[in-house]
């Protein structure tokens, strides 16, 4: 039998990571430098969760994976909604 703690685990976000918007910008630049369409690659990653859609060039894959996919979708949606209100 395994010992399962009855303690409540506390979830803490990593506060040392870059803002989502900055990460997305850097990842897009890295994808463009390698000849990929950033929109297509990001959609593939967001839908599948497969990190191989993102290049490792300039550490883009690791930077993007610091954020949960829902954080990325949330930031993209916020930006979109802010732009359509203008």
* DSSP class per residue in the chain: ------SPPPP---TTSPPHHHHHHHHHHHHHHTT--HHHHHHHHHHH--GGGS--GGGHHHHHHTS-HHHHHHHHHHHHHHHHT-
41 and 53 Cβ atoms separated by less than 8 Å: yes
Give the span between the Cα atoms of 38 and 78, in whole angstroms: 18
pLDDT, residue 34, reads 98
Give the span between the Cα atoms of 20 and 63, in whole angstroms: 10
What parts of the chain have a pLDDT lower than 70? 1-2, 11-16
pLDDT, residue 6, reads 77
Question: How much is the pTM?
Answer: 0.77
pLDDT, residue 24, reads 97
């Amino acid at each position: 039998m395994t010992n399962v703690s009855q303690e409540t685990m506390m979830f803490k976000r990593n506060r040392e990571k870059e803002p989502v918007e900055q990460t997305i910008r850097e990842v897009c630049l890295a994808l463009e430098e390698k000849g990929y369409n950033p929109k297509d690659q990001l959609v593939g990653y967001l839908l599948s969760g497969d990190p191989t859609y993102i290049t490792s060039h300039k550490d883009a894959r690791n930077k993007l994976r610091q954020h949960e996919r829902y954080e990325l979708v949330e930031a993209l949606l916020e930006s979109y909604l802010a732009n359509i209100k203008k």
